[in-house]
Amino acid sequence: MDSEDLTGAELLAVFSALANPHRLRVLGALADGRQYVSLLARQLGMSRPLLHMHLQKLQAAGLVAGELELSEDGKAVKYFAATPFSLRVTPQAIKAIAPTLPGPDDRKETD
Amino acid sequence: MDSEDLTGAELLAVFSALANPHRLRVLGALADGRQYVSLLARQLGMSRPLLHMHLQKLQAAGLVAGELELSEDGKAVKYFAATPFSLRVTPQAIKAIAPTLPGPDDRKETD
DNA sequence: GACACGTGTAAGAATTTACTGACACGTGAG
DNA sequence: CTCACGTGTCAGTAAATTCTTACACGTGTC
């Protein structure tokens, strides 16, 4: 996943997802390998609902991917892993995507 | 300005500064050359106080630099230009700076 | 059944961010 | 003096994020 093919709105979603210490720590924890939500929450010292929200935002930005599995003892476990993205951020790159940025009057269409 | 020598808090400030369409557009407009605040505000269609606030945040993150000059007709004019930064963002890079991220109990010390 | 473990989601409070409007200052031109 | 242009900042409001608490479901074990 290279960054050149991102629209302004997508890049904005990525930066917004990255603009939070919890989410950066989550992404760092998932850099090596995948992990399931409850354990990850314990490792990072945050509540499950909170981690759930942050994972949603990271997933919406395409930075992590989750898949629901069935463990051997029958429990539903959801594993998340970091997407192997590589972003190059420079003033010129930002200028290039600037025309595709959402205007001040635009509404959210993520529904 | 390479990104390898940024702490977690600094990188967080950069992402936070980038997580806004207005600021991305400002950065894009300043990618080529410098411009002064009032004219820039008119070009981007936003109020001066608002642009002022966004420029403060961009400057605090080290993405733009401003210098106050005296134009030939004696007026004080403040020019801003984009810092020629180059950021490489990957899960591994984020994991590397994760230990230096501000904890949930930390307070702002930017006073 | 009661418990421990996993999942998800919804309501409400607390906090942060974004924005407007009005004010301050200083200079040159009419 | 008044107007146009530049600068900056403050108070108050509107809106978006963040976070907690509490609930829902399903499964295997004592």
* Model confidence pLDDT, tens digit, residues B84-107: 999 999 999 999 999 998 875 565
* ∠ CA B28-B85-A29, rounded to 5°: 105
Q: pTM (2 decimals)?
A: 0.91
| Nucleotide nearest residue A36, measured CA to C1' | C6
Whether the pLDDT of residue A85 is over 80: the answer is yes
The neighbouring-strand residues paired with B2 are B86
Strand D: which residues 86-105 of A lie within 7 A (CB)? none
Q: Mind spelling out the 3-state secondary structure of B5-38?
A: HCCHHHHHHHHHHHCCHHHHHHHHHCCCCCEEHH
How large is the average pLDDT for residues B59-72? 95
In percent, how much of chain B has pLDDT > 90? 80
* Residue B36 CB contacts under 8 Å (≥ 6 apart), including other chains: B77, B78, B79, B80
Whether the pLDDT of residue B110 is over 60: the answer is no
How large is the average pLDDT for residues A43-61? 97
Cα→Cα distances A79→A31, A41, A57, A72, Å: 13, 12, 16, 14
Share the mean pLDDT of chain B.
Answer: 91
Cβ pair A95:B8 closer than 8 A: no
Position A111 scores a pLDDT of 42
Contact, B53 CB vs strand C, < 7 Å: yes
* Model confidence pLDDT, tens digit, residues A16-36: 999 999 999 999 999 999 999
Residue B16: closest CA among chain A residues belongs to which residue?
A19
Share the mean pLDDT of chain A.
Answer: 91
| Nucleotide nearest residue A80, measured CA to C1' | C7
Contact, B19 CB vs strand C, < 7 Å: yes
More confident residue, A3 or A73: A73
| Nucleotide nearest residue B76, measured CA to C1' | D6
Contact, B111 CB vs strand C, < 7 Å: no
Q: Is A34 near chain B, with CB under 8 Å?
A: no
Backbone φ and ψ for B22, nearest 5 degrees, come out as -60, -45
Cβ pair A21:B83 closer than 8 A: no
